[in-house]
């Protein structure tokens, strides 16, 4: 009982629950600020590579995809990438509903949407692996277009993979009673992170498939 009170801040004879709530609110705000700063640092990381790609594209060759060995490289499969994008964006929707379900203490619905998010994230990674295996644009060292594509989308893919691991760890914590419907910062952080990878993919999809 003492452990339960210390973790969740409530109990039948607990007079320090209000103080625990105040401490939780204060630490939650600080942790949220720290997590947002982490996401900002990731934005800076992606931005540096994105602007480098834009500079190289506009300064190296007038045609894009570039000409390699006398032949212009084919464009990427936009239709397939669009389908894979829908998979990823759909996972952002399911993650939103997972968090809302937890807030309303609907654990079965939360489990459903959380696992849908994880499966959709893995589906996106599978689609990305398929594209890597069939893209006829050279490798990392073949040309600027191939190097930029594999670097930026690969870095994004690593973030998606880490996000899937993060969400799975959060799901385990929910099953162990780490969070309640009033204290769930980890789930908030996981949702923010997942929306972050969605937003980054919007930029990458435009750069490599539409532009």
According to DSSP, the residues that pair with 67 across neighbouring strands are: 72
Q: Is residue 20 in a domain? A: no
Q: Is residue 23 in a domain? A: no
Q: Is residue 40 in a domain? A: yes
According to DSSP, the residues that pair with 72 across neighbouring strands are: 67
pLDDT band, very low/low/confident/very high, at 128 (cuts 50, 70, 90): very high
CB of 87 within 8 A of CB of 120? Answer: yes
Tokens representing 99 are 């968090």
CATH number reported for the structural domain that contains residue 170 in this entry: 1.20.120.80
Count structural domains, the chain: 1
| Per-residue confidence (pLDDT) for residue 61, from 0 to 100 | 67
According to DSSP, the residues that pair with 68 across neighbouring strands are: 71
Residue 166: CA count within 13 A, CB half-sphere: 18
Q: Is residue 18 in a domain? A: no
Nearest Cα to Cα of residue 185 among 52, 35, 10, 41: 35
Q: Is residue 158 in a domain? A: yes
114-124: pLDDT as tens digits: 999 999 999 99
Q: Is residue 127 in a domain? A: yes
Q: Is residue 15 in a domain? A: no
| Per-residue confidence (pLDDT) for residue 20, from 0 to 100 | 65
CB of 91 within 8 A of CB of 120? Answer: yes
Q: Is residue 146 in a domain? A: yes
Range of the domain at 90: 31-210
Give this prediction's pTM. Answer: 0.87
162-173: pLDDT as tens digits: 999 999 999 999
Q: Residue 115's CB: how many other CB atoms inside 10 A?
A: 15
């Amino acid at each position: 009982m003492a452990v339960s009170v210390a973790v969740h801040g409530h109990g039948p004879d607990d007079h320090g629950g209000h103080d625990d709530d105040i401490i939780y609110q204060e630490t939650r705000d600080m942790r949220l600020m720290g997590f947002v700063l982490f996401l900002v640092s990731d934005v800076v990381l992606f931005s540096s590579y994105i602007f480098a790609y834009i500079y190289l594209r506009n300064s190296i060759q007038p045609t894009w995809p570039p000409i390699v060995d006398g032949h212009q490289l084919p464009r990427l499969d936009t239709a397939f990438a669009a389908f894979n994008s829908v998979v990823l964006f759909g996972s952002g929707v399911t993650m939103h509903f997972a968090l809302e379900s937890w807030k309303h203490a609907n654990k079965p619905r939360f489990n459903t949407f959380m696992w849908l998010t994880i499966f959709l994230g893995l589906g996106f990674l599978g689609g990305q692996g398929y594209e890597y295996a069939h893209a006829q644009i050279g490798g990392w060292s073949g040309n600027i277009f191939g190097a930029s594509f594999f670097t930026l989308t690969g870095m994004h893919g690593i973030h998606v993979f880490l996000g899937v691991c993060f969400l799975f760890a959060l799901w385990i914590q929910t099953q162990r009673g780490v969070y309640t419907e009033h204290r769930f910062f980890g789930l908030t952080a996981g949702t923010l992170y997942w929306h972050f990878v969605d937003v980054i993919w919007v930029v990458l999809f435009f750069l490599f498939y539409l532009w």
